[in-house]
Structure 1
């Protein structure tokens, strides 16, 4: 079973003697405890073209020390990484293999580098003896494990690792004392990165040579950059530059969030789903930049993935909404086991859905989608408009999405209350979201006005979204009432909740004209124009 530990540390280049400074009395350090020297022997694994290293991910099998085993480290912010640990075994544990699948795909993992470290450890403790941080000096010897062996290289570095749950401000307080002792922050983000650089392990596993695949990929990216950057000299980015920057950011998010979703990290499913929606929306908004003959099939697959991601997410949001509304109901209007009925309904609906999602991420269809996203990023299907100045093309796309939105809002305002208006409001909400995403993508070209316009679209989307959430909640409440009635329970409270949701939807409908009058003012669209 794998365990996850948040690791917050800083690395410093040290003198060859590896002597550690005495930090007693500094920043709340009451005592520095000598924990002795340990020998750590680690083999680092990656694909031959170093797909993990390219994303600052490390995978190793280490013996020695107190945490021998398999370690997978994923970036988690400045100075921080999440280390997923699994027990020592001869082969890579399946749970760690799954966490790197979105990067590795069909490539095999091979041993690239062996690092042997003599680690001299000190514990910094407070007056109560509680651990604040661990200070260590590592005398490292790195050896290539690729077919072309080379001479080992060595260096000494110092690490300061915060104790679990510690305050990162401690690292800031200790750093001046380390630099005064002659240490300086390491230029390499990890031992592995330094080992790869100093031993000369190239992306194909050979020394100093670039693989054919890597050369082809580099050539494609250079070609794509050239195709997307033919605007007039000094005229700023082209439309292709702007759209590809946004699209590639969403592609990177889809890939990087895969391990977080598997680990059930907070909000990871929602963030991954939003990335798929943003990407699909950009394909539609900027169809004059990217060829829809290529992007439409990918968009269909993104819609499928978003749907799979939404199975749990939608039910969680809906349950939370009904629970919030239930908490507002006075005790005198509660009748029957309402909370228990809601809990049973929610659990029954979600049963097996997480297992289904993991199956989706492990499936060939998902891998094929990731491959198609890689291909689009490396060799984008740019249309002639991609070479034009970004301001012209991007502005036209944002305004085109706005005009579609305006037509749907007008239809929603004109529709009679009831089912027809609910459908019209929902359609307007989807177009508001697309207009918002188009404006987000436009920020490099249009600047602050695009940010402000995206804010207006978000405000409108929130109102329309609250209305749609009420529609969905009422459908669920009707279902809950029927289940309660069939079980011989009183269904009165579900009726109360239904009425409250109905009233909320009516309020949102009443608020829409005034909000739309503000959003649709000409000054907001005029501000977008350079």
Structure 2
């Protein structure tokens, strides 16, 4: 990755041609105002033809001129903040069409917006030329606290009917100062009759009436007397947001991102099963299948990560005298190879039409949910019954586990119990706005079962690795297999201990 940058904290103000800068020296901490520096800038903005990045308040541009020439990607975070990521100018290949290689978006930035753009090409949507006068606000020791940019802008919209516009604006951006300085600057400008800009960005102003309106944010919150469909929509929206956030992190190999996205896909799939009576069946059957596929892609990478950490911990706790043969190197090499393969397979899956169509289907489900009449009933009537059904399914799974003989069959049965406990937990968490105390009690219990049986399942997987892809391979190579057998026995005991903890926890169910 050649991307870099930081958090952008700024405010824009609309001004007319005759506006005069106020006394910025009066701002707290400001000791001097540097002589203005003038830059001639050109910025070309990229988006899809239907402006999906603009709708998500994401800016992607190539700027020439000034001291920050290059590619800039601005991603929204909390109010008033945007994460800005840079890449240098140069010859890049983005994979789309409609512009020369010099115009092609760097792959390091293109992949960070793939979850929004998907397989649509990125094209130029606006061109802005700006004459910028930069006034640096200097603090103690010559430190630059902030800059005020006085911009005179000429803009061309290049899509949906070309149109030109011109305006002047001021922009205060923090460099090395607390946000209080922004508040003080806004107050000083307000006293002079200058207000915060009505436009979200220069691009928004350039696009004019074509700037897309984002999805509605005023969906009704889940309440006992609100429609049951609100509970499902709120939960779906939360998890889809997690996928959007984690997708670029996975592409950057950010620790924890695979696990977080996998949990989100599992929650989505589970919620669609629990709330199946609220949605037309044909609308979600295929969607649940595709979520299962994505979860499996994420699982390959995540499971190998967990297994590698577990086996490393086992080896580290053993006395050196008990580690005979090259067991550490063998297990590490195998884990690293499998982890690398799984990671590459996952990133490749995130570039497929199948993944992009899944994202499309999730967006459509939330935008225009195909609800049944049940979704319109009061949540306090519908949701508790759905949670109760998940309780019954968990009890049935436990009864089946009781009847199975210890060994592989019992392990599979307990794994099914774990999945049912997880679904109960997710169902209870969606019901939290309706009955917080009851929902918290049920979800805590279900999570306890999930955790204990997760440990049991991890031991079973570790045993399989130590036996089939460790000890057997070592034997065939003529290496000492003592340590593989010892570690296998330790994991067997851990699995038995975890199972005992499960039965004890189950006996105290609420």
Same fold (TM over 0.5): yes
**How far apart, in 2, do the equivalents of 1:335 and 1:32 lie?**
70
- Preserved CA contact (<8 Å) 1:46 1:59: yes
Q: Aligned to 1:98, which of 105, 111, 115?
A: 111
Give ranges in structure 2 of 5+ residues lacking alignment: 91-101
- What's the counterpart of residue 149 of structure 2? 137
**How far apart, in 2, do the equivalents of 1:138 and 1:270 lie?**
45
1:157 aligns with 2:171: yes
- Preserved CA contact (<8 Å) 1:40 1:119: no
- What's the counterpart of residue 332 of structure 2? 343
- 1:5-20 equivalences under 5 Å are 5-11=5-11, 13=13, 16-18=19-21
**How far apart, in 2, do the equivalents of 1:470 and 1:137 lie?**
60
Q: CA deviation at 1:508?
A: 1.3
**How far apart, in 2, do the equivalents of 1:350 and 1:20 lie?**
59
Q: CA deviation at 1:103?
A: 1.6
CA spacing shift, 1:240–1:5, aligned 2, 3 Å: same
1:114 aligns with 2:123: no
**How far apart, in 1, do the equivalents of 2:27 and 2:164 lie?**
42
Q: CA deviation at 1:480?
A: 1.6
- 1:201-212 equivalences under 5 Å are 201-203=210-212
Which range moved further: 318-327 or 337-346?
337-346
SS at match of 1:171: coil
CA spacing shift, 1:73–1:447, aligned 2, 3 Å: same
- What's the counterpart of residue 83 of structure 2? 81
Runs of 4+ in 1 over 6 A off after TM superposition: 29-35
Q: Aligned to 2:279, which of 290, 294, 302?
A: 290
Count of aligned pairs between the two proteins: 488
SS at match of 2:434: helix
Which range moved further: 430-439 or 3-12?
3-12
1:309 aligns with 2:302: no
Q: CA deviation at 1:349?
A: 1.5
SS at match of 1:92: coil
1:441 aligns with 2:450: no
Q: CA deviation at 1:392?
A: 1.3
Q: CA deviation at 1:353?
A: 3.3
- What's the counterpart of residue 51 of structure 2? 50
1:429 aligns with 2:451: no
SS at match of 1:335: coil
1:363 aligns with 2:365: no
Give ranges in structure 1 of 5+ residues lacking alignment: 163-169, 204-209, 522-530
- Preserved CA contact (<8 Å) 2:258 2:298: yes
Q: CA deviation at 1:20?
A: 7.3
Deviations 1:369-426 (A, max 9, x none): 2222232222222112111101111111111101111222233345443222211211
CA spacing shift, 1:51–1:339, aligned 2, 3 Å: same
- What's the counterpart of residue 439 of structure 2? 450
Which range moved further: 363-372 or 391-400?
363-372
- Preserved CA contact (<8 Å) 1:45 1:111: yes
Tell me how large the CA RMSD over aligned residues is: 3.4
CA spacing shift, 1:449–1:50, aligned 2, 3 Å: farther
SS at match of 2:175: strand
**How far apart, in 1, do the equivalents of 2:120 and 2:162 lie?**
20
Deviations 1:224-263 (A, max 9, x none): x8xx99x9xx973111111122113323332343222222
- Preserved CA contact (<8 Å) 1:39 1:118: yes
CA spacing shift, 1:517–1:32, aligned 2, 3 Å: farther
CA spacing shift, 1:263–1:84, aligned 2, 3 Å: farther
